[in-house]
């Protein structure tokens, strides 16, 4: 008899957080699931960690590196169920995550995606803030083309996923945003109020304060959403901005991102300044962290006004 949910997770060199992520799924209150893990060409101990878990619900696909979109498409192709729950290898699912989302999907057949809010944690697992996502279908659709979900929180219907064209394998980043926009016309979306995962912020280089890069990337993303393809030049550009991020630049962006969260979402100016000092030490010629450091001495109301102005 087939399970009720297929949890799909791709792993590439995720040894640091992987066991905690796997255990958080295996220890769910809802037990009737398969857990499809794609080891996408890891060169660290990821495969060894996966094999040590040894649970009959686990289905392991060990493959050469293909990239995230292809790896996820390969995993979903193996899924035996209609309900696909995404999971990332550095996040932690709350024990009732699958139970709550599956119940919602069964009771609301006109909804094709259910996401949730999350507890945001840093790379050491320390609490940063709670997310505050819009929850209703109409509010979510108004946010498009920006992605309205924390993607590792989502559970979606497999038939809608295939009707939308799967994860776009021509996109090196932003694959989830393209998929969500293509699924938008197929059914209703919802975010649950509850925090159903701990979502870990790590120095991946996916955030940037370079407006030129952001503008070009958003243009590529819009083209992908509209035409379901990008040009060779755009693909080469995505490869360039992804591969050219040095470890220092990634850490710089990471500390700046945390500082903003500690100011905008969980007013802790001292902790924000600690992260801003770290960002400035890494990139002393960047002006924005200095400006934010000065602004961090303002009262909370003024900080929120500044956030609205920048937004």
Q: Please identify, among 177, 200, 223, the residue that sits at the C-terminal boundary of a domain.
A: 200
Residues 35 and 131 in one domain: yes
Question: What pLDDT does residue 206 have?
Answer: 52
The range of the structural domain enclosing residue 271 comes to 211-310
Establish if 206 belongs to a structural domain: no
| Strand pairing report for 33-40 and 58-63 | parallel
C-alpha–C-alpha distance, residues 202 and 89, integer Å: 12
* Residue 295 tokens, joined: 């602004």
- Supply angle C-alpha 280, 285, 291, rounded to 5: 60
C-alpha–C-alpha distance, residues 202 and 90, integer Å: 9
From residue 44, give the alpha-carbon distance in Å to each of 49, 99, 251, 299.
10, 32, 21, 46
Residues 269 and 124 in one domain: no
Residues 184 and 232 in one domain: no
Q: Please identify, among 141, 172, 200, the residue that sits at the C-terminal boundary of a domain.
A: 200
Q: Are 220 and 144 in contact (CB under 8 A)?
A: no
Question: DSSP secondary structure string, 237-282?
Answer: HHHHHHHT--HHHHHHHHHHHHHHHHHHTS--HHHHHHHHHHHHHH
- CATH assignment at residue 78: 3.90.550.10
C-alpha–C-alpha distance, residues 76 and 215, integer Å: 32
Question: What pLDDT does residue 244 have?
Answer: 57
Among candidates 57, 21, 176, 23, which has minimal Cα distance to 113? 176
Among candidates 246, 148, 268, 258, which has minimal Cα distance to 202? 258
Per-residue pLDDT 10s for the chain (311 aa) are 899 999 999 999 999 999 999 999 999 999 999 999 999 999 999 999 999 998 999 999 999 999 999 999 999 999 999 999 999 999 999 999 999 999 999 999 999 999 999 999 999 999 999 999 999 999 999 999 999 999 999 999 999 999 999 999 999 999 999 999 999 999 999 999 999 999 999 987 555 556 788 899 999 999 999 999 999 999 999 888 877 555 667 888 899 999 999 999 999 999 999 999 999 999 899 899 999 999 999 999 888 888 778 76
Residues 42 and 104 in one domain: yes
* Residue 67 tokens, joined: 């990239």
| Count of C-beta atoms within a 10 Å radius of residue 269 | 19
Residues 63 and 194 in one domain: yes
Residues 80 and 168 in one domain: yes
Residues 6+ apart with CB under 8 A from 126: none
Q: For the chain, what is the domain count?
A: 2
**Helices within the chain (DSSP H only):** 18-26, 46-53, 68-78, 97-107, 137-143, 158-163, 175-183, 211-227, 232-243, 247-264, 269-282, 288-295, 300-310
User: What is the CB-side half-sphere exposure of residue 215 using CA atoms within 13 A?
Assistant: 3
Establish if 167 belongs to a structural domain: yes
Is the pTM higher than 0.85?
yes
Q: Please identify, among 178, 200, 222, the residue that sits at the C-terminal boundary of a domain.
A: 200
């Amino acid at each position: 008899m087939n399970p009720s949910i297929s949890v799909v997770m791709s792993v590439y060199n995720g040894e640091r957080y992987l066991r905690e992520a796997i255990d958080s799924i295996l220890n769910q209150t809802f037990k009737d699931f398969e857990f499809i893990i794609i080891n996408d060409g890891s060169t660290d101990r990821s495969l060894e960690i996966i094999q040590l878990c040894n649970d009959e619900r686990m289905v392991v696909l060990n493959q050469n590196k293909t990239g995230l979109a292809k790896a996820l498409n390969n995993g979903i192709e193996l899924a035996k169920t209609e309900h696909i729950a995404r999971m990332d290898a550095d996040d932690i699912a709350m024990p009732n995550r699958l139970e709550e989302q599956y119940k919602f999907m069964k009771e609301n057949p006109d909804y094709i995606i259910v996401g949730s809010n999350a507890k945001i944690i840093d790379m050491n697992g320390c609490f940063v803030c709670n997310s505050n996502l819009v929850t209703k279908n109409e509010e979510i659709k108004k946010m498009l083309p920006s992605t309205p979900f924390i993607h590792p929180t989502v559970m979606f219907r497999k038939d809608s996923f295939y009707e939308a064209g799967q994860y776009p394998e021509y996109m090196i980043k932003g694959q989830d945003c393209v998929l969500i926009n293509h699924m938008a016309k197929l059914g209703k979306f919802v975010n649950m109020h509850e925090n159903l995962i701990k979502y870990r912020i790590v120095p991946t280089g996916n955030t940037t304060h370079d407006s030129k890069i952001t503008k070009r990337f958003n243009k590529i993303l819009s083209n992908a959403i509209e035409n379901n393809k990008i040009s060779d030049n755009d693909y080469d550009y995505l490869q360039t901005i992804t591969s050219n991020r040095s470890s220092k630049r990634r850490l710089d962006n990471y500390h700046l991102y945390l500082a903003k969260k500690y100011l905008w979402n969980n007013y802790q100016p001292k902790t924000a300044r600690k992260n801003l000092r770290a960002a400035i030490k890494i990139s002393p010629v960047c002006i924005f962290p200095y400006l934010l450091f000065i602004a961090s001495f303002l009262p909370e109301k003024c900080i929120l006004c500044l956030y609205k102005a920048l937004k």
